Structure 1
């Protein structure tokens, strides 16, 4: 009898309609490390029963054409961002910065990089044209009845395609075209919100605030140049001349922000900004046998791991030799992800690898230190596992990410452009031998993990929320539609100032008339 009841209950569970249904999601990703965290999100969406379709170029660097959890449409293009392109940018930047003085370094970052930024987004623009000019592909996309577009807005292609297909839009975001995403959507008082590249905290001196304002003006100029030369032209061609790309960029339903306020400085935010910092982090899995054997051979000294991320696989030879020589003097074992020519000073304690299971190594109990370039993914994985950092920031957001760790006492920055082997060695020794670095990072880790929902679950909820409700218009502010003078109430201030002046003028005129009348009466009596 119990068996019959069990079978009946099982059949009911199988055949009763489910309360949720799988969605149909179109994904326009960015390349490099941006794809790595997008890929994690897509795999989780697939596990939740959703159908995923990715549009990629035939020269895609990271995005595979075949996958077990997403479908692809591959678009033919002449060029794309690849390892060679990025390596050249990095090497040119390092070469310049190693011989630069502070002023020329600032000007190079502010002005000299504009041409490179425009070139990068021009390749994205070519991808947009290839997609929208492919009539068969567009027919397929329109017939597929997608529920939403998921994109990384550091590239502008997903924004344009979402508008063309008239679909709700969700961002997996930290950066827009030329700046941190908060600066575009949320009130950002420059008195305490540090601009990317400033190296400031939320407590700035007067001169730091001056620099902060200048950097924001430069960001706005860079953004306008890229939009005018690349994306606005695409909007005019495919969406109509009445569509403003800057407004289109801010019209997303949900902004899934890849930070949290354990890492970020407190600042104003908006209702449709959802924080999922560390969503890619997870408990460590067992290491491959050869790596586990190497790690265990470190004994009580433990292991240091070094990686400069997906974009920076190698360094100039002399710089790599300095780093290798410093590692050779340490009692710890070192695992270094490096694909360049083998440094001549490499010690027996250092293992070079083309790839490493970074998250699993950071979660290993023998890992004592992470030498990192400061990319968001790596910094958040170190924070999740409580591993202190020696930072070698190079470009983009890396100095600011590491500065946030350093001011919280959880790491130390070494200037890679002026670094020698001895300076690097001393930086490692400082972090290894001062317990406060590890204790502070472990405190940050406890704060980060103490949340009502896992960051990945939060992200999935809000993506499904947009699908259930066909958008999230009630969470979107309309402030970006206002002209700047209305947003900052300049017109109201001028009106009120005019009214006050009118009252004062009327009062002065009345007093003057009264005085004149009194004086005339007095003269007549005399």
Structure 2
């Protein structure tokens, strides 16, 4: 009888569960663990709230991660077949643009052949998804599923701040006069030549993306879907809202339309207790601990022997601190000092929340910078590529970080930089202020993101949030045609006045000029 009641309760709960939850599809085709970290926080939270969530993803949850039963992953198993991201180190911005998009196309070609891709393609076209969320940083290559499943509401997500590609979807403006391109080192206060270069970079990126990259993506993807599918660039414009990983406290302030929602720091959850070995290692440190991580894209095997020696020697010269270093020890050719714990993975946000942690040596990736600011930990920034240089510039302008060059730093440079961020009282005060600015908001970023997803479920066509700029081309949207017309009219008027003045002056001069008297 008890067993029957239990089974009956289980069935009723599932019926209620499935009746109240929406069917949500996540298209997460970006080959980046940090993007997976950010995106999965929202996917998992939506599942916790009772929605049925299917995620097509190049990444899977960790093996020991507890998942709700209504969360289902379909693996794009070829997601990391195309590598070489470390070659971007030291690359010029204009050189970077075509190489970056070219590698993304190569990755897409492999990912599209994944078994996971075929698995979702095998779903019946009539299968009903109530909303689709997708990571749009590398373009619309998975948006054929929007067409396949009859155009449910579409929500864009970007762990990469508010990237320029957002304006392709939302028709928002970009402002190169005071928003530096993500791989430059400029601040918002630029001189004329910096603004000119920044504008040219934005123009080059936008032109290449729209005129070369997206058409090639469309050609690549079209064979996998029906022949009457719309152009992928047009499908991307169905995006109702974009959830972007930015916030005024940590990013450059820019005007945004109401359908571009800032949820910067969405990955920040309440810190969990650390594993016993980490807790003991942190607590036994004499003057505190330091965490060193160069992110998920920089692999241990990518470091040279000389670069490893610089880091290890610096840690040895600071025995009063315990160091946690994200590094695979099988690539070490020397022993480590006793004050160093090296592992391939650390629970980074929880480590940064520990009261014994004094500094963070970081590559200044977007998530790492946010997590350090949220937890109130000053940084030694060693940027490598992409947005990391700009992230560090923002932190330095805020007085919460110092900079080292990855290719030229010495052991002494690293030792002095660590001492600087730990011992400078002004830096400690400024990082506390920055943490408060970042956290102090009406709703937590994850709650904000969930609210907007559920809003779109209830209001699938929020046309009132869309900017009318989507009807205009770039010249019209920025009034460049009007400015050119005004300048042309002004030049014409000035030219006419000058011509009239010159004509009148000549006439008057001829009249007033004394007549020549002829002499024999």
TM-score > 0.5, shorter chain as reference: yes
Q: Which residue of 1 aligns with 2:395?
A: 405
Residue 325 (structure 1) aligned with residue 313 (structure 2): yes
Q: 1:41 to 1:499 in 2, by over 3 A?
A: same
State the distance in 1 between where 2:152 and 2:115 align. 16
Aligned runs of 1:154-173 on 2, under 5 Å? 154-155=137-138, 156-165=140-149, 166-173=151-158
Q: TM-score, normalised by structure 1?
A: 0.81
Q: Aligned to 2:298, what secondary structure does the other structure show?
A: coil
Alpha-carbon spacing, 1:114–1:178, altered in 2? closer, same or farther (3 Å): farther
Paired residue for 1:283?
A: 270
Q: 1:291 to 1:35 in 2, by over 3 A?
A: same
- Aligned in 2, Cα 1:132/1:477: closer, same or farther, shift over 3 Å? farther
Q: Report matched runs for 1:498-513 at 5 Å.
A: none
TM-score relative to the length of structure 2: 0.81
Q: Which residue of 2 aligns with 1:72?
A: 73
C-alpha deviation, 1:246, in angstroms? 3.8
Cα RMSD between the aligned structures? Answer: 3.6
Corresponding position: 1:153 with 2:170: no
Write out per-residue CA displacement over residues 177-218 of structure 1, whole angstroms, 9 at most, x where no aligned residue. 984646874222222111111211111122221221232233
Whether the aligned pair in 2 keeps the contact of 1:125 and 1:231 (CA below 8 Å) is no
**Cα distance change on mapping 1:472 and 1:220 into 2, 3 Å:** same
- Please state if 1:52 is matched with 2:39: no
Q: What count of residue pairs does the alignment treat as equivalent?
A: 477
Deviation at 1:415?
0.9
Matched, 1:22 2:12: no
What's the offset of the Cα at 1:120? Answer: 2.5
CA distance in 1, matches of 2:204, 2:161: 14
Q: Secondary structure in 2 aligned to 1:142? A: coil
Question: Structure 1 pair 438/160, CA: closer, same or farther in 2 (3 Å)?
Answer: farther
Q: Residue by residue, what CA displacement relative to the aligned partner does 1:453-474 show, whole Å, maximum 9, x if unpaired?
A: 1111000000001111123222
Deviation digits for residues 81-110 of structure 1, max 9, x if unmatched?
25xx44x431x445xx4xxxxxxx42xx42
Structure 1 counterpart of 2:105: 121
Check if 1:425 corresponds to 2:415. yes
- Counterpart of 1:81 in structure 2 is 80
Does structure 1 residue 194 correspond to structure 2 residue 184? no
SS at match of 1:214: helix
- Distance in 2 (alpha carbons) for counterparts of 1:121 and 1:181: 19
CA–CA distance in structure 1, aligned partners of residues 484 and 223 of structure 2: 35
Larger mean Cα displacement after TM superposition, 288-297 or 201-210? 201-210
- Contact map agreement 1:278 1:380 (CA 8 A) in 2: yes
The answer to whether the aligner puts 1:334 opposite 2:323 as a matched pair is yes
- For structure 1, the residue ranges without an aligned partner over 5 or more in a row are 1-13, 98-104, 512-526
Shift of 1:346: 2.9
- Kept in 1: contact 2:326–2:342 (CA 8 A): yes
Alignment of 1:36 onto 2:21: no
Give me the whole-angstrom Cα distance separating, in 2, the residues matched to 1:137 and 1:215: 37
CA distance in 1, matches of 2:242, 2:367: 18
Aligned match for 1:220, one of 188, 206, 210? 206
CA contact (8 A) 1:182 1:269 kept: no
Distance 2:275 2:176 in 1: 48
- Are 1:394 and 2:394 counterparts? no
Sort the Cα spacing of 1:171 and 1:269 in 2 relative to 1 into closer, same or farther, 3 A: same
Q: What secondary structure sits across from 2:450 in the alignment?
A: helix
1:131-169 superposed Cα distances (whole Å, 9 cap, x missing partner): 8994x7446253331111111102333433224431211
**Matching residue within 110, 113, 117 for 2:94:** 110
Shift of residue 492, structure 1, vs aligned partner: 4.1
71 and 409 in structure 1: CA distance in 2 versus 1, 3 angstrom threshold:
same
Contact 1:131 1:138 in 2 (8 A): no
Instruction: Give the superposition deviation at 1:232.
Output: 5.1
What secondary structure, in the 3-state scheme, does the structure 2 residue paired with 1:253 have?
Answer: strand
In 2: Cα distance, 1:356 partner to 1:490 partner: 51
